[in-house]
Chain A
Amino acid sequence: MSTSTDHGRPDPDATPSAQSPEGRPLSDRGDTVCVIGAGASGLTAIKNLREHGFGVDCYERETGVGGAWNWRHDRSPVYASTHLLSSKPFTQFPDFPMPDSWPDYPHHSQLLAYFERYADHFDLRSHVWFGTEVIRVEPAEGDRWDVTTRSTGGYGPERTSRYAAVVIANGHNWSPKLPRYEGLEEFRGEIMHASSYKDPAQLRGKRVLVVGAGNTGCDIAVEAAQQASRCWHSTRRGYWYAPKYVLGRPADQVNDALLALRVPLRVRQWLYHWTLRLTVGDLTRFGLPKPDHRVYETHPIANSQLVYYVGHGGIGPVPDLARFRPYAVELADGREIDPDLVIFATGYLPRFEFLDASVFGDSAGTGRPTLWLNAFTPGHPTLAVAGLVQPDSGMFTLAHWQTVLFARLLQARRDRPERAAAFAQRVRDRAGERYSGQVKDSSRHWFEVGHADYLRAVQRALHDLEAK
């Protein structure tokens, strides 16, 4: 039906059958569900909705699938060396395994190949309108939605279609979060956010300061240790730097063996501290700050090389930044360093610019939606968000089950309305629920979930919806 150059709206018999409140022409798409974005979460939404018998129109602002994992996309946050953090069994969709011939931790190009194969295998592309951006999503009568689109970049006319339901799968790792500092504007060196970092050649021969120790910051610090003439790594707290392999196996597989046995969190934390002590050792001797929290209370870092390069002097740990000067950066401890490139690996913030913030119960405009299961909105039973999670593991399994649950909820609205109503009540009662142990208060943890806690909650929701 569509090719990557097709723009526009999917309705062949595009008879504008109604008008929006403002009098714009509107085409009624009946029972069709609209999916926003064809990244991993959008693709699995299309597949699962189709599998449950729903028609789907997906809009994707780029010209290909894969979202963040498609390095050709201007908003892709991946850099040349990006490999998975979670090993294959945790990362793949639960009903479409990655090939046995791939390594434990595949490369980003393999992830893209995987999503392209997923799209072809289940014939998903024919439901996607590429090069088309969603610019407005507005509630309409009868729990339906008016979705307004136009060609990416703002060309061409706007079109509005009315849908029975909407899945928002626009990703939350593309809009940079940039800290502010005194004197930053006067700084004469180069400054970039990690989202613009693509290739280690950008570091070659430079004096590089990397800010932030999420997984991005740690990866870039390691590459700077290999390529740059000097590398400082600034963190505002101490972290637990965990290796990708422990006891000869991918670390997440060892952890889940304990989770499967329902070993309590405190015991797992103790075991983890102990394993790190045996492998990585005490990091304060390198000048790294002592963690101000227990393992699992910040988003896990999986990086076997960072500690290695700290130990070899390639990475110089430094504290938080205090202020910028034209040719130097002052640190919180009063020291000054003189980088010529500063990379802010300070993470990302979610953005739903097509939606009125009040829909997500965020009238204060903090940018943080209040949802149940990170997916369902009180008062809007036909709206779901897919992929708004940051698990301590791969996220595609979670997005898969979120969209299965949503598809079954839509079926229940048709076949067992009393069940759907009970579900809506649970959404109202439990919006804002968390699915992780205690985490440090930081916007990077807004969507942090423990995969086991989260999936158990989804499983319960499915059973409650469908129990005899």
Chain B
Amino acid sequence: MNWTAIAAIYRFEMARFFRTLAQSFFSPVLSTSLYFVVFGTAIGSRIQEVEGVSYGAFIVPGLIMLSVVMLAISNASFGIYFPKFLGTIYELLSAPVNFIEIVIGYVGAAATKALFVGLVILITSMFFVDIRIEHPVAMAAFLVLTCLSFALLGFIIGIWASNFEQMSLIPQLVVTPLIFLGGTFYSISMLPPMWQTITLFNPVVYLISGFRWSFFGTADVPIGLSLLAIAGFTAICLGVIWWIFKTGWRIRS
């Protein structure tokens, strides 16, 4: 393993983040506060509790997931799309690095940034509502795994995309609806039975359910299933990336 190269890629990617640290910090603080004002206060005053948890606290895991997933995707996709767009990818391709090292560098940096924002949102939420975390280790594991797996997806999108429009296509048309319909702001059990069944085909349900379980100890789907879902998703992304580099698809003519 060329660890020096991995560190170089990681540091270079993180530098981009540190240049705009204030922005990276304040924008999630602001948007989270807005969510609490709108959902927690306005709507939350009508919905008192969900499964024994105050509505304000109930939406926190979903909010964190929403931001973390979107950020992991956009950071990773831009991270690899930019070198393609600027032409600087020549250097990556001619360097003594293999695909695993490139992926660790880019995906690691993208996941780190998303993780940072996830923690900022969590801490901001604590100013608005009481939050208890029943399974902190599981919570951390879910958060890290989510950051990593969606950064992998973002990496694939960044390689696949040949223009800026395509970059936002999948996040906007596929991922955002799945997250909103995946129980970010409600419990699956609040839906009519038929929709409950349909919702189970949404992979994000497993993610948010598992994450919420680590906070409050209640879940829409068994926790084992949640773990299995995220592990499976990570494996699929890794497989696709392995294939991309093996064939040179969209990167090596």
A and B are partners in one complex rather than unrelated chains: no
